[in-house]
Amino acid sequence: MSILFYLAYKLVLVLVIFAITLGVAAYSTLAERKFAGFFQDRLGPDRAGPYGILQPLADGVKFFFKEDFTPANADKTLFVMGPALAMLIALITSAVIPWGPSLEIAGYQLPFQVTDLNIGVLYISGAVSIGVYGIMVGGWASNNKFALLGAIRASSQMISYEIAMGIALIAIVLLAGSLSLHDIVAQQSGLNWNIWKQPLGFIIFITCAFAECNRTPFDLPECEQELVGGYHTEYSSMKLGLFLFSEYVNMFVSSALMSALYFGGYNFPGLDYSTMAPNVAALVGFGVFFAKILFFIFFFMWIRWTIPRFRYDQLMHLGWSILMPLAILNMLLTALGVLYLGK
């Protein structure tokens, strides 16, 4: 296989995954408003196109044509870098996710994954931990007290919860014996999903995912009642759009990670990909994986319109006094189980 062919395949795969990620994030905004309407006994958006189907496009056009305002005393370079960083980091996290079984193109077996790092779990932890920089830079550069308070809240919240999330991931690594997401998913064939072995780890991980995505009930950094708009108070036009959009991209990537780590990724009971043509298997696998992702996105939205926001002291108490000890206990029990009982 020539290097040019391999690079061209990878480039096309990156573009396709980016397009899918951005498309799902765009229509998640519409889905969220539709679900909100359903939960509150109203219709939701229904003016832009049939059943409001063009609402995300209308919102995007609106952001592009809004006045791009920069405060006089803001650090202009960092003010632009904040939303760009938030969006970039949200997108690069999906690089190590295996989207389906291998594809066959021109007689070559090619992985349906941007890159199969042998330290995939470590890469995810690193990408998640630098996700706070976009918010912190944007909040500080705004030269606004409310924005700075929102940024400080975001950084302390993310640092608090990513420790418990990292420890929950260690338990998965102990079970799989590998840091590669491809290996972790491959070991969950049929109904041999990690959720049966790691129910506590999954509860810890999904709780931390809500906090890392700044989703209700953990949306303290953009608490309207206290901080006007939080870290994006001074933002307008497409810069504000990037901040809001990155939240939905993070939600999509978090849902993909939960599906891959705990729910078998593209595996499903009764599906034997070895009996299918490679490209059919890849498409079916991607469909199964995508359905799981959509379920978790719905769950994120369901929680938002069901549970009220925590107070800040409750948020910190949950992270440090409850989730952290539970994550350590879960890791120790998993280690003992692997040591004495095997996988």
Between vectors from CA 63 to CA 62 and to CA 65, what angle results, nearest 5°?
A: 65
CA atoms of 304 and 263, how far apart (whole Å): 22
What is the domain range of residue 223? 3-341
Instruction: List C-alpha distances in Å: 241 to 29, 59, 83, 87.
Output: 12, 9, 9, 10
**Structural domains of the chain, count:** 1
Specify the DSSP element, H or E, that contains 144.
none
pLDDT tens series, the chain, 343 aa: 688 888 999 999 999 999 999 999 999 999 999 999 998 899 888 888 888 899 999 998 998 888 888 888 888 899 999 999 999 998 998 889 999 988 888 888 888 989 888 888 999 988 888 888 888 898 889 888 888 888 888 888 888 898 999 999 999 999 998 999 999 999 998 888 999 999 999 999 999 999 988 888 888 766 666 666 677 788 888 888 898 889 899 999 999 999 999 999 999 988 888 888 888 999 999 999 999 999 999 999 999 888 888 888 898 999 999 999 999 999 999 999 998 887 5
Between vectors from CA 88 to CA 87 and to CA 92, what angle results, nearest 5°?
A: 120
Count CA atoms closer than 13 A to 91's CA, side-chain side.
19
Measured N-to-C along each axis, helices 76-92 and 237-262 cross at an angle, to the nearest 10 degrees, of: 30
**218 and 207 in contact (C-beta within 8 Å)?**
no
Instruction: List C-alpha distances in Å: 188 to 81, 163, 183, 199.
Output: 40, 25, 9, 15
